[in-house]
Amino acid sequence: MGTGKTEVGRELSRLLHMKLIDVDTEIEKSQKMTINTIFKKFGEPRFREIETEMIKKISENKNVIISTGGGVVLKQENMDVLRNNGVIVCLTATPETILRRTSHNSDRPLLQVENPLKKIKGLLNFRKPFYEKADIIINTNDKTPLQITEEIIERIKDEG
Protein backbone atom coordinates (compact mmCIF):
# COMPACT_ATOMS: atom_id res chain seq x y z
CA MET A 1 0.00 0.00 0.00
CA GLY A 2 1.17 3.48 -0.78
CA THR A 3 3.86 2.33 -3.18
CA GLY A 4 2.18 3.68 -6.32
CA LYS A 5 0.38 0.59 -7.62
CA THR A 6 -2.72 2.47 -8.78
CA GLU A 7 -0.95 5.27 -10.63
CA VAL A 8 1.71 2.97 -12.08
CA GLY A 9 -0.96 0.47 -13.12
CA ARG A 10 -2.78 3.23 -15.01
CA GLU A 11 0.44 4.31 -16.74
CA LEU A 12 1.30 0.73 -17.69
CA SER A 13 -2.20 0.24 -19.04
CA ARG A 14 -1.94 3.42 -21.12
CA LEU A 15 1.55 2.76 -22.50
CA LEU A 16 1.10 -0.96 -23.16
CA HIS A 17 -2.52 -0.69 -24.34
CA MET A 18 -3.54 -3.39 -21.89
CA LYS A 19 -6.54 -3.53 -19.59
CA LEU A 20 -5.86 -2.82 -15.90
CA ILE A 21 -7.76 -4.93 -13.39
CA ASP A 22 -7.58 -3.95 -9.72
CA VAL A 23 -8.24 -6.91 -7.44
CA ASP A 24 -9.60 -4.79 -4.57
CA THR A 25 -12.02 -2.97 -6.90
CA GLU A 26 -13.27 -6.29 -8.26
CA ILE A 27 -13.70 -7.64 -4.72
CA GLU A 28 -15.74 -4.58 -3.74
CA LYS A 29 -17.96 -5.00 -6.82
CA SER A 30 -18.51 -8.73 -6.25
CA GLN A 31 -19.13 -8.40 -2.50
CA LYS A 32 -21.13 -5.15 -2.83
CA MET A 33 -19.18 -3.61 0.04
CA THR A 34 -15.88 -1.84 0.66
CA ILE A 35 -12.68 -3.60 1.69
CA ASN A 36 -12.97 -1.77 5.03
CA THR A 37 -16.46 -3.20 5.56
CA ILE A 38 -15.32 -6.72 4.66
CA PHE A 39 -12.49 -6.44 7.22
CA LYS A 40 -14.87 -5.13 9.90
CA LYS A 41 -17.68 -7.63 9.28
CA PHE A 42 -15.71 -10.78 8.46
CA GLY A 43 -12.07 -10.16 9.45
CA GLU A 44 -8.82 -10.38 7.53
CA PRO A 45 -8.82 -14.21 7.11
CA ARG A 46 -12.14 -14.13 5.22
CA PHE A 47 -10.97 -11.16 3.15
CA ARG A 48 -7.85 -13.15 2.16
CA GLU A 49 -10.04 -16.08 1.06
CA ILE A 50 -12.15 -13.77 -1.12
CA GLU A 51 -8.96 -12.20 -2.46
CA THR A 52 -7.55 -15.59 -3.50
CA GLU A 53 -10.81 -16.52 -5.23
CA MET A 54 -10.75 -13.22 -7.13
CA ILE A 55 -7.09 -13.61 -8.15
CA LYS A 56 -7.86 -17.05 -9.58
CA LYS A 57 -10.76 -15.59 -11.57
CA ILE A 58 -8.87 -12.53 -12.84
CA SER A 59 -5.77 -14.55 -13.71
CA GLU A 60 -7.74 -16.43 -16.34
CA ASN A 61 -7.56 -13.25 -18.46
CA LYS A 62 -4.75 -12.85 -21.00
CA ASN A 63 -2.79 -9.65 -21.69
CA VAL A 64 -3.98 -7.73 -18.64
CA ILE A 65 -2.26 -5.86 -15.84
CA ILE A 66 -3.41 -7.08 -12.43
CA SER A 67 -3.00 -4.71 -9.50
CA THR A 68 -3.13 -6.45 -6.13
CA GLY A 69 -2.99 -5.45 -2.51
CA GLY A 70 0.24 -5.92 -0.58
CA GLY A 71 -1.04 -8.91 1.39
CA VAL A 72 -1.47 -11.07 -1.72
CA VAL A 73 2.11 -12.31 -1.32
CA LEU A 74 1.31 -13.99 1.98
CA LYS A 75 -0.28 -16.96 0.19
CA GLN A 76 2.00 -18.95 -2.09
CA GLU A 77 -1.11 -20.04 -3.98
CA ASN A 78 -1.68 -16.43 -5.05
CA MET A 79 1.90 -16.08 -6.24
CA ASP A 80 1.72 -19.34 -8.20
CA VAL A 81 -1.51 -18.34 -9.94
CA LEU A 82 -0.20 -14.87 -10.81
CA ARG A 83 3.19 -16.15 -11.99
CA ASN A 84 1.55 -18.80 -14.17
CA ASN A 85 0.50 -16.18 -16.73
CA GLY A 86 2.78 -13.25 -16.06
CA VAL A 87 5.56 -11.40 -14.35
CA ILE A 88 5.22 -10.35 -10.72
CA VAL A 89 6.40 -6.81 -10.04
CA CYS A 90 6.74 -5.58 -6.47
CA LEU A 91 6.76 -1.83 -5.85
CA THR A 92 8.45 -0.80 -2.62
CA ALA A 93 8.90 2.42 -0.66
CA THR A 94 10.21 3.45 2.74
CA PRO A 95 7.78 3.34 5.67
CA GLU A 96 7.88 7.14 5.85
CA THR A 97 6.99 7.47 2.16
CA ILE A 98 4.15 4.98 2.55
CA LEU A 99 2.79 6.87 5.56
CA ARG A 100 2.97 10.17 3.67
CA ARG A 101 1.19 8.69 0.65
CA THR A 102 -1.54 6.97 2.67
CA SER A 103 -2.15 9.48 5.46
CA HIS A 104 -4.96 11.23 3.56
CA ASN A 105 -6.85 7.99 2.97
CA SER A 106 -9.02 6.38 5.65
CA ASP A 107 -9.75 3.34 3.46
CA ARG A 108 -6.70 1.43 4.75
CA PRO A 109 -8.04 -1.06 7.28
CA LEU A 110 -4.61 -2.22 8.40
CA LEU A 111 -3.58 1.36 9.21
CA GLN A 112 -6.54 2.21 11.43
CA VAL A 113 -4.29 2.04 14.48
CA GLU A 114 -2.80 4.46 16.99
CA ASN A 115 0.70 4.40 15.47
CA PRO A 116 0.42 3.81 11.69
CA LEU A 117 4.18 4.25 11.07
CA LYS A 118 4.96 1.47 13.53
CA LYS A 119 2.29 -0.70 11.86
CA ILE A 120 3.76 -0.02 8.39
CA LYS A 121 7.26 -0.93 9.60
CA GLY A 122 5.92 -4.13 11.16
CA LEU A 123 4.02 -5.11 7.99
CA LEU A 124 7.02 -4.42 5.76
CA ASN A 125 9.36 -6.34 8.04
CA PHE A 126 7.01 -9.33 8.20
CA ARG A 127 6.26 -9.31 4.45
CA LYS A 128 9.83 -8.65 3.25
CA PRO A 129 10.70 -12.31 2.56
CA PHE A 130 7.42 -12.68 0.65
CA TYR A 131 7.98 -9.51 -1.40
CA GLU A 132 11.45 -10.75 -2.31
CA LYS A 133 9.83 -13.62 -4.25
CA ALA A 134 8.68 -11.14 -6.93
CA ASP A 135 10.30 -11.36 -10.37
CA ILE A 136 11.05 -7.63 -10.38
CA ILE A 137 11.36 -5.29 -7.37
CA ILE A 138 11.33 -1.53 -7.87
CA ASN A 139 11.79 1.14 -5.21
CA THR A 140 9.32 3.95 -5.91
CA ASN A 141 10.74 6.59 -3.56
CA ASP A 142 11.27 9.94 -5.30
CA LYS A 143 10.10 8.60 -8.69
CA THR A 144 7.12 9.63 -10.76
CA PRO A 145 4.59 7.03 -11.92
CA LEU A 146 5.92 7.46 -15.47
CA GLN A 147 9.53 6.83 -14.37
CA ILE A 148 8.47 3.71 -12.49
CA THR A 149 6.41 2.51 -15.45
CA GLU A 150 9.31 2.97 -17.85
CA GLU A 151 11.58 1.07 -15.46
CA ILE A 152 9.08 -1.81 -15.27
CA ILE A 153 8.84 -2.01 -19.06
CA GLU A 154 12.63 -1.98 -19.42
CA ARG A 155 13.10 -4.63 -16.74
CA ILE A 156 10.43 -6.89 -18.30
CA LYS A 157 12.22 -6.60 -21.66
CA ASP A 158 15.47 -7.60 -19.92
CA GLU A 159 13.72 -10.60 -18.29
CA GLY A 160 12.39 -11.86 -21.64
Domain boundaries, the chain: 5-153
* pLDDT tens-digit map of 20-45: 999 999 999 999 999 989 999 999 99
What does 88-101 look like in DSSP terms, one character per residue? -EEEE--HHHHHHH
What are the residues whose beta carbons fall under 8 Å from the beta carbon of 32, sequence distance 6 or more?
none
The per-residue pLDDT for 97 is: 93
- The rounded distance, in Å, linking the Cα atoms of 139 and 131 is 12
User: Does pLDDT of 75 surpass 80?
Assistant: yes
Cα distance between residue 93 and residue 99, in whole Å: 10
Give the pLDDT of residue 114: 76
5-153 placed in CATH 2.40.160.40: no
Q: Which amino acid is at 139?
A: N
Q: Which of 73, 29, 69, 27 is nearest to 50 (CA)?
A: 27
The CA distance from 7 to 11, in Å, is 6
Arithmetic mean of pLDDT, 50-70: 94
Q: What is the mean pLDDT of residues 68-88?
A: 92
